[in-house]
Structure 1
Amino acid sequence: MNTKKEKPLHSLFAGATAGAIEAFVTYPTEFVKTRSQFEGKRESPIAIIKDTLKTKGVKGLYSGCTALMAGNSLKAGVRFVSYDHFKGMLADSQGKVSTPRSLLAGLGAGMMEAIFAVTPSETIKTKLIDDAKRPNPQYRGLIHGSVQIVKQEGLKGIYRGLFPVMMRQGANSAVRFTTYVTLKQAIQTRMRTGQNMPTSVTFGIGAVAGLVTVYTTMPLDVIKTRMQSLTARQQYRNSFHCTYRIFTEEGILRFWTGTTPRLVRLMLSGGIVFTVYENIIAVIGARSPDK
């Protein structure tokens, strides 16, 4: 794999824009996935959508969306800048990055985004969604909710679930980037020299990368959601205790609750993010797409 580094500001801008667009387009699937993972009665994705539309309207499917858009924008920017940086560090003397090193670069990028972007935004988003299903929600939106969470729990409150988020994001980025670049490289070797990869192919590769990511990291996502819920402090001592309780009380299949909506989101997400990123990078003059 070629290690041509993008300019950090180009990577940040392209990644942040791609992340914000992806978050808005796919948010209803994230809402349904998160709702289905809370403790209590199991609800199907269709039942959650019907209930939300009936009680809250279409706006209800976007509860917590602003938090995720802001966090996703920052997350994607940090992810691409970090991945490019680690990829450059791990390149060999010929400027190539092996699959194991690509995995390591993705893991590092995931850890960075978990610390600087994902944990705060995911915690706030999860609490807003959990609160929205109550008869009398206490949070009036992103700003009010964030202020109240910090008032009630301190800064520690918005960093609840940091460990499972770091594990999930590290695994997400490692699997997603490695799958993407491996498939991309395999396709490019079959193309004529100098031929650009079609946008539809880029989208398809990104979607496959999203599919692989979902099934390999789903348990970490469920644990993350539980640790960031409004009742987490009363239910679980830490991530390991949460894992133990889910396994012993609800069964191993509970770790894959919310797979369908997350699968839809990450397949769309992978396609949208990589396609938007590649095209923005081309437009701002960093390089030609997929060249």
Structure 2
Amino acid sequence: MSSKSQGDENKNLPLVSFMSGGIAGAIEAAATYPFEFAKTRVQLRQEAGVPTPRNPFKVVSQVFRDEGVRALYKGCSSLIVGSVGKDGVRFLSFDVIKNAFADPETGGMTPARNMLAGMTSGVVASIFAVTPTERIKTALIDDARNKKRFKSAPHAVKLIYQETGLLGIYRGFAGNTLKQASATAFRMGTYNILKEYERARDIEQSTTVNFANGAVAGIVTTYSTMPFDTIKTRSQSAKGASTIEAFKSIMADGGVKMFWRGTTMRLGRTVFSGGILFTVYERVAAVLNAFLRT
């Protein structure tokens, strides 16, 4: 078998990339949502007389004690729907871009091209899936702290659209796109750089290896993109804010260190989510590829 045909066999069909990414994203979002909930609460501005603990683990225990386990999943449905679209689009666009950039004989990619492919797919995902669903998720978490105007995700969409139009649904687009472009570049890029390295040394791509690669990619992504994530959260609160307003409010609340508020909880989530996401993606893609190519 030629090296070219071997390279073709390693490529996922477009439908496989989209479906595998969507399924992996939904499972990852549901499994790790309490981490995301606590991280978002910590990043939001404190309401007068209602201080939020700085320790995300205290946020989880406090909400669980005062409001019950269901409260920890406020906004989860929005994130799951968004993750299906986000990761479906992200993996599809990444695989399409990666295949276009790859060496035609070996299917290999340089680290720089891996990162560029990830960045481009992050922008695509932000436009078509991530920004609106992240906006609703963040608004639901923020609203649940006191006002409780939103009864559900659809109700939140309706009210926000009535009050601010489509631009309100896309509030935080700039910060979110910066975050998605950088996060996807680091996450997808790091994962595929590790994968290329392992393939060159004939290291078998087992479930354990996939999970470890995804976890490492999650660590790199968290520390590299945390400021963008904090800006995005402030922009997409229930009240909403422009990217500049969000930046100013973060600086006013605690200076530069505030941009890394919630890192501990996000790190916990991204390590597990990276492992879960890529492991599920690889397994589902293998099954679908085998089925569709028979």
> Equivalent residues in 2 for 1:72-151 (5 A)?
72-94=83-105, 95-134=107-146, 136-151=147-162
Q: Relative to structure 2, which stretch is displaced further, 86-95 or 251-260?
A: 86-95
Q: Please, which runs of 5 or more residues in structure 1 have no aligned partner? A: none
Q: Distance in 2 between matches of 1:200 and 1:93?
A: 29
| Shift, 1:150, TM fit | 1.2
Q: Show structure 1 runs of 4+ deviating over 3 A.
A: 92-95
Q: Which amino acid aligns with 1:166?
A: T
| Shift, 1:54, TM fit | 2.2
Q: Please, which runs of 5 or more residues in structure 2 have no aligned partner? A: 1-6
Q: Distance in 2 between matches of 1:27 and 1:249?
A: 26
Q: How many corresponding residue pairs?
A: 278
Give RMSD over aligned pairs.
1.7
Q: Distance in 2 between matches of 1:42 and 1:255?
A: 16
| Shift, 1:248, TM fit | 4.7
Question: Relative to 1, partners in 2 of residues 1:55 and 1:30: Cα closer, same or farther, differing over 3 Å?
Answer: same
SS, match of residue 28 in structure 1: helix
| Shift, 1:42, TM fit | 4.8
TM-score, with structure 1 as normaliser: 0.91
Q: Distance in 1 between matches of 2:290 and 2:166?
A: 38
**Does residue 1:202 correspond to 2:203, yes or no?**
no
Q: Does the aligned pair in 1 maintain the 2:20–2:285 contact within 8 Å?
A: yes
2:223 alignment counterpart: 215
TM-score, with structure 2 as normaliser: 0.90
Q: Does the aligned pair in 1 maintain the 2:139–2:237 contact within 8 Å?
A: yes
Q: Which amino acid aligns with 2:212?
A: G
Q: Distance in 2 between matches of 1:9 and 1:187?
A: 26
Question: Relative to 1, partners in 2 of residues 1:143 and 1:242: Cα closer, same or farther, differing over 3 Å?
Answer: closer
Deviations 1:171-226 (A, max 9, x none): 0111011111111222233336xxx4220111011001001000000000000000
**Match 1:52 to one of 52, 55, 63:** 63
Q: Which amino acid aligns with 2:232?
A: K
| Shift, 1:80, TM fit | 0.5
Q: Which amino acid aligns with 2:126?
A: A
Q: Does the aligned pair in 2 maintain the 1:10–1:286 contact within 8 Å?
A: no
Q: Distance in 1 between matches of 2:137 and 2:216?
A: 26
Q: Does the aligned pair in 1 maintain the 2:12–2:289 contact within 8 Å?
A: no
Q: Distance in 2 between matches of 1:55 and 1:42?
A: 13
SS, match of residue 57 in structure 2: helix
Q: Which amino acid aligns with 1:32?
A: A
